Amino acid sequence: MEFTTQHFIALAPLLITSATIIVVMLAIAWRRNHSQTFLLSVAGLNLALLSILPALKVAPLAVTPLLQIDSFACLYMALILVATLACVTLAHAYLGDGGTGYPGNREELYLLILMSAAGGLVLVSAQHLAGLFVGLELLSVPVYGLVAYAFFNKRSLEAGIKYMVLSAAGSAFLLFGMALLYADSGSLSFVGIGQALAATGLPSSLAQLGLGMMLIGLAFKLSLVPFHLWTPDVYEGAPAPVAAFLATAAKVAVFAVMVRLFQISPAASSGVLSNVLTIIAIASILFGNLLALTQSNLKRLLGYSSIAHFGYLLIALVASKGLAVEAIGVYLVTYVITSLGAFGVITLMSSPYKGRDADALYEYRGLFWRRPYLTAVLTVMMLSLAGIPLTAGFIGKFYIIATGVESHQWWLVGSLVLGSAIGVFYYLRVMVTLYLIEPNLRRVDAQLHWEQKAGGVMLLAIAVLAFFLGLYPQPLLNLVQQSGLAG
């Protein structure tokens, strides 16, 4: 095919991100400078984010048979880039330029995050199984290094190895499923597979097996029950900014491509597969929330809570008509905002020089009296994750319930209500801990470096945004409505 200027405009976010990776790599090779690497990464990500506006003007546009740039892809590209930008800012505060030196090289963390973000951008615009696989591997492989980045901490190394082994198993399932789908439909493009499945009415047993194996591969990446066992250990072991990236940008990219695959071939979500998705959704909601009840570690608690949140999202995927795509868009935006805020507080409380992150719940006892700003942010995030009215999380949950009711998925709606009720308990437990008065409490906070102040300002902005979207969600709803899969 011939490339025109329009193709380059449509691909601009991905091209600018890739150019940033090369510039950062050359800059590191030339001279190691932590702040310079950070500033180059932020500049590149901001440019990529701005380039989505001209890309929207030429969308929808198929760029090679592998990628489709449309308003759906642009929305999720923007979400991934914003999440990456937040994680890079948190990483700068975490690694710090303070007096103590980080025992290893700090600059490569930015390089790995940028490479993983580029994989996410490929993934959300994939319209072909080859594009899906390339995007998924480019997203996952740098994350293995990121999770084990604090190499002097054995928990971090253990988490990296666990994630790598299980992720490789997930990729094997995914590839096998793709092979079976290709054998049945004779096509690797989503549209071709959709047409082949629709032509035969109900999918053949071979196609259902292929789709089932692909679902297992994607469920590993999304940590849905019963493929969730790696999640709490990896979240706990990974450095806090990496856990934030894993919980937001990485999962959003995988879920977006799953939505595209299931929406383009509606036959994919019919029959046996629909029942399997329903069971996985109910199990993820109940197991995620019940296991979070017993946690005394904030990162593990957020890990189990993310399993439950993606269980909620599966409700809209099972419904797959009416409000579904809109509900998924709204929920993912609100989930990303709240997860970034929660992990951001853990990041600013932690430092890699202490050996492990400040993620035990007892370390947050009486935080209000020491760091009131961080307490305010974490309180808003917990309220939002619990889906309390006047926060962004409430709008997301409301849309998911509306979708479930619209498509008469009563079992799923029931499990969502029950899961949310359990969730309120452990989110409130975290909030109460923040305001406890400790004996001999020091009320003066330590002096912050400027990079931590930058992270703190960003967290306050996230908290304000979570409140604003809870009070006035219309701008978000308009944005998501314009990004339907019709393009």
Predicted confidence (pLDDT) at residue 449 exceeds the cutoff of 60: no
Tokens of 383: 């309220």
Look over the chain and give the mean of its residue pLDDT values, rounded to a whole number: 86
- Residue 439 has a pLDDT of 64
Q: Which residue has the higher pLDDT, 108 or 359?
A: 108
Predicted confidence (pLDDT) at residue 268 exceeds the cutoff of 70: no
Tokens of 222: 């999304």
Torsion of CA 468, 393, 328, 412, to 10 degrees: -150
The mean per-residue pLDDT over the stretch 22-43 comes to 90
Range of the domain at 149: 5-481
Q: Would residue 268 count as lying in a domain?
A: yes
- Residue 450 has a pLDDT of 54
Q: pLDDT tens, 76-115?
A: 999 999 999 999 998 888 887 554 456 667 888 999 999 9
Taking a C-beta distance cutoff of 8 angstroms, is the pair 366, 441 a contact?
A: yes
Predicted confidence (pLDDT) at residue 484 exceeds the cutoff of 90: no
The mean per-residue pLDDT over the stretch 304-311 comes to 93
Q: Would residue 233 count as lying in a domain?
A: yes
Q: pLDDT tens, 373-414?
A: 888 899 999 999 998 888 888 998 998 998 888 888 888 889
Q: Which residue has the higher pLDDT, 4 or 287?
A: 287
Predicted confidence (pLDDT) at residue 372 exceeds the cutoff of 90: no
**117 confidence band (pLDDT: 50, 70, 90):** very high
Predicted confidence (pLDDT) at residue 297 exceeds the cutoff of 70: yes
**Can you spell out the DSSP letters for 192-210?**
HHHHHHHHTSSPPHHHHHH
The mean per-residue pLDDT over the stretch 340-344 comes to 92
Tokens of 109: 């963390």
Q: Would residue 487 count as lying in a domain?
A: no
Q: Percent of the chain, pLDDT > 90? A: 38
The mean per-residue pLDDT over the stretch 247-255 comes to 92
Q: Would residue 486 count as lying in a domain?
A: no
pTM for the whole structure: 0.92
Q: Which residue has the higher pLDDT, 96 or 268?
A: 96
The mean per-residue pLDDT over the stretch 190-217 comes to 82
Q: Which residue has the higher pLDDT, 485 or 161?
A: 161
Environment class of 460 (CB within 10 Å of its CB; exposed 0-12, middle 13-18, buried 19+): middle
- Residue 355 has a pLDDT of 63
- Residue 436 has a pLDDT of 83
- Residue 99 has a pLDDT of 44
The structural domain count of the chain equals 1
Q: Which residue has the higher pLDDT, 134 or 445?
A: 134
Q: How far is CA 111 from CA 26, 30, 146, 314, 482, in A?
A: 11, 14, 10, 32, 33
- Residue 486 has a pLDDT of 47
Q: pLDDT tens, 60-72?
A: 888 888 888 888 8
Q: Would residue 45 count as lying in a domain?
A: yes
